[in-house]
Amino acid sequence: MTEEITLEGIGIAPGVLETIATVAAQGVDGVAEVSCVGGGLAGLVQKGSSRGVCVEVSDEGALVASLRIHAAYGRPLREIATDVQKAVIDALLTHTGQTVAAVDVYVDDVVFPER
């Protein structure tokens, strides 16, 4: 993605919004990492960032984010995903002033502690 995203007359590189979303997600308890797009067929047809994060502007002008994460074992996945949604919404709203229409969180893996 090399095109700028225009928010109220200001051009922002998509990578900036993706970085904001990534840092917000990484700060959530239970997120082991924000996953990269893996190999195989899913990696060939996946569009968007190679880091597993995509932030776009909807037709209505609101931000829409999609994140792929690896969750740490020991906490309910629903709670982790909900906390990621809240953190990403708060971070994007704080840094851009734009409303966030949706944050989709996909759990690609569960990371177990090493013994």
- Superfamily of 5-111 according to CATH: Cation efflux protein, cytoplasmic domain (3.30.70.1350)
Closest among 106, 94, 71 to 20, alpha carbons compared: 94
Residue-wise pLDDT for 25-65, tens only, equals 999 999 999 986 544 444 444 444 456 899 998 888 899 99
pLDDT tens for each residue of 58-114: 888 899 999 999 999 999 999 999 999 999 999 999 999 999 999 999 999 999 998
Question: Phi/psi at 52 (nearest 5 deg)?
Answer: 90, 15
pTM: predicted TM-score of the whole model, two decimal places: 0.83
Residue found by looking up tokens 């840092």 in the block = 23
